[in-house]
Amino acid sequence: MKASEVMLTRPYILWKDPLLVALNALAGRGERSPYRVVVVDNQLKVKGTLTGRRVLEVLLGLRGESIIAKRGIKGILREPVNLFLYEPRHVFLEHTPLLSILQYMAENSVGHVIITDDVGVLRGSIDESAIIGRLRGRSFGIVVGDVMTNKVFTISPEATLYEAADAMVGHRVRRLPVVTDDNLVGIVTVTDVLNYILAEEKHVEMLLYDISIEEVLSKKVEEVMSSTVVSISPSSDLGSAVDKLIQKDVSGLPIVSDDGRLVGMLSRIDVLVELVRRLGASAVVEAMSL
């Protein structure tokens, strides 16, 4: 199987576009609003990437602190994205064998690689969903509980969105399960926070007035979180987790015990890494072709 067969064409932004364009690209739900976007110059040569978490870092003042001090949030939203992007990493030429790319992703726990032509022009990307999306409907004989991450960062429904954003940035996670007495009651993600910020009234407020990010994100988590959570049992086969991750278009699953307690998390990259570790990259590529 060639890399081009699983390569995705995702939205990109120009390196001179204002940060507000990135916020628009990254806020929302589903495939049209990816967690990350590739940043290119006017010749479509790759300059780097920007993630939802990096945008949160900027809005929280952890990046571009001097700009926020001088111009506030309304000013920093007008600054070009090239001031805040990640340097281009995990870049492969379009003729690189898919097997080599998959091995690299699994060995380095990388969920996204950029594909270019020989002169660095963007062709597309391959992410973990493109890989495991071709493995639906299978049973692997691997139990979810053996793959999941046991250390889970959670948040209370009474916490503010600012506290949730700060926690996600600090712990470097995309999502926080919302729990009450160890019971899962919802989930809040980076995308949820960005989507809330981009809601019409908050968007206008941030662009017109000198308002702090604490004020913008003062609403409680329970008012924004998704209360219908896609979860899975630790005793389920990893194949069932793959099906849920792809069918529900989510990047991670809370693992919930039979008595309703949150016991772990499973991400798409966790699945990819474990399948390659146990089956081998060649076997995974072969299974993708079936």
Could you tell me the CA-to-CA distances from 92 to 44, 239, 262 in Å, in that order? 15, 29, 38
Decide yes or no: CATH 3.10.580.10 for domain 144-289: yes
Contact 260, 184 (CB under 8 A): yes
**What homologous superfamily is domain 3-133 in, according to CATH?**
CBS-domain (3.10.580.10)
List per-residue pLDDT tens for the chain, 290 residues long. 778 889 988 889 999 999 999 988 888 654 445 789 999 999 999 999 999 999 999 999 888 888 877 878 888 889 999 999 999 999 999 999 999 999 999 999 999 999 999 999 999 999 999 999 999 999 999 999 999 999 999 999 999 999 999 999 999 999 999 999 888 999 999 999 998 988 866 777 777 777 888 988 999 999 999 999 999 999 999 999 999 999 998 889 999 998 888 999 999 999 999 999 999 999 999 999 87
241 φ, ψ (degrees, to nearest 5): -65, -40
Domain spans in the chain, listed from the N-terminal domain onward: 3-133, 144-289
Rounded CA separation 66/47 (Å): 23
Contact 251, 240 (CB under 8 A): no
Name residues whose C-beta falls within 8 Å of residue 282's C-beta, 6 or more positions apart in sequence: 99
pTM of the model: 0.89
Pair of tokens at residue 196: 């809330």
Rounded CA separation 176/164 (Å): 8
Please indicate whether the domains covering 3-133 and 144-289 agree at the CATH topology level. Answer: yes
The kind and range of the H/E element at 68 are helix 65-76
